[in-house]
Structure 1
Amino acid sequence: MNAPITLLTLLETLPGSYAGPARPDEAPYGLVGVGEGALAAAIAQTLIASSLTRGGTQFVLGSPDASALATDYADLAVVAGANARRVATGGTPEEIDVLVPGGPLATYHFAQFVAHASGHSDEAAAADALLADLAARCAPHVTENNPARDLAWSLWGRTPLLLAAPEAEALPHAWQHLLARTGKTLSIPVLGDPLPFVTGAFEAQHEKGDAKVALILGDADDTLLLAREILESRIDEIIHVPYPDGAVGYPAALALWYFGAWVAAYLAERYGQQPGDLPVLGRAQGVMSGEDRAQARLAAPRDDLRRTNVLKDWADDQDVDDVELDEDEDDRDEE
């Protein structure tokens, strides 16, 4: 009997698994991502600035839960004079030009499509080489000096703060997504100028700095170095997570996303959680994709969250004597 395929298995075999088109489309290029494609579009901004183009090829990355928005973007591009290429994890055949695997690792397939289709196959190959090296060092059978396991241990029981230089703001977004979806962990991305955040966030409640760890993702500029110095007196620990092997550009960004996926998977493992998607995510995405809403109704083990009719419920809780007293008072008011 075959062993079940786990997320860790998929992560180990991910490098080089892209099997989509590799021929460049017509330039110039525009790039928009929605739904499952939003994160890949952010990472691929090192290749193509996110924009709508009036000619050439418009790449629209999406998924069934955001198909209406993807259709709008594609229609706008066609009206403007571009050729729309819709890449999605699912939907109707007329809505898809390229189908990519869905799930938490869809970002890889989306991003590698953009790299190949925009004439950056060399960068796609460089990214796969970096991912393959990380897979060899982060795989489950590596029990000593496994950087992903070691970082997951440092994050265990803590709330990560995620920081990056302005040109790499896709990385805090990516790691927040990975730590939540795969690692089942809350993290806080610090976007924009980090100095107001690091100087003020812990002043009124110093204890909020307990059990916090800051991750500086990618290259640290002068502002991040100063932010690190300030945070050293306010939170538990600051960890720099550099690009693998000094890489730059698109390969570096995709590799650091991939490393974050490994860290998130091992963090879920430490918490005794499954790193795969929760059923409620599938149901929520089903609702947004237009599936039968009665069948896709969400349910959670928590108190009833419907709005309470305050006046009615207070009256129901009153003692009979209280109700009679209220009625007597009403009679006196009428007199």
Structure 2
Amino acid sequence: MKKYLAILLATTVIVACEQEKTTPTLSVTPTDLEFSSEGGSKTVKVQTNTDWTLTTDGSDWYTVSPTEGNGDTEVTVTLNNYTDASVRTAQIKFEADGLVETLAILQNRPETPKDPTELSFSIRAYAQDYTIPAPKGFTYKIVLNGEGLSLVSSDAENIILHFDANTTGQNRDFSVTVLTTDDIKLENATFRQSWRNVESGELVLDEIFFSGFSIPESDNNDSMDGDQYIKITNTTSEKLYADGVIFAISETSSQVSSTGAYWAYPELPDGIGVNTLYQIPGNGTDVPVEAGKSVVLAISAQNFNAENGVGADLSKANFEFYDEGNEDYPDTDNPDVPNLVNWFKSSWSFTSLHNRGYESYA
């Protein structure tokens, strides 16, 4: 009887184990995910009655979490922002006890604008780097049009261009076209580069002190003209460069105060006859003048205030008129103040302003 009982118990245990063994299941819902170019996160539901794992295709533009588990689990798929001109796809494989399910991922290209962005810029004559905004959310290419224009660098935020100095004597035009990699126009920028660094009215003759204070008993031959100076002021809200600006003294035919000075060339009513021309030196960006600030041109860059207590201290002027003069009237040079470039002058001695105002200036 004991043998029969033991065999019966063993048989019962085997049957019970066979009844407990279940068939594995695996499903992934949904089986495909579609994303915009901005990316983001979406979830899929893994349903299974056993352990599961997933395997990606190795792409680095998305992440998946978690990558393994047991039983029903929510899995999050996160995509990066996308800027290329074609869709991109990937596949993720889920496995559980020999069962396989595949999740397909698709990310769309950025939506291109109906009309490209139109930009227009005016720039000055000097050589310079110029930054314009890049189209946001796109991988792009750039087409440059115009001699003297080149690309410095570009990224997701900015496009940096380089313009050579305009020495042509006339305005010149450029264009920059920004396209997707499949040639859809995103942005069109046009540029007009002036032939000069400063436009009319931007730098003005703010002060002209022509009477001056003499230095009593001075050995300086040009002290008789005192502390004469010209102040040129930037009237704009931006930094200007005074390199190349020319100061002119008119040629007049009258020294009678009652009638005033008049043009020496009445047949040229829109012109001005000049007898003296001086230029501010520089290579285009050597003489910055901040918004609302000035540069001072001294006839003689001396400290007149220290000599007689009433004149101006022109020893710290920005520039000085300096001429070699002659043996009878040698000029005085302040080596600490840069000299203006003498283009032309009618005087055989040093330059000075008429101390009774019988001149005009430009």
TM-score, normalised to structure 2, is 0.17
Higher relative contact order (CA 8 A, sep 6+): 1
Bigger helix fraction: 1
TM-score, normalised to structure 1, is 0.18
Bigger strand fraction: 2
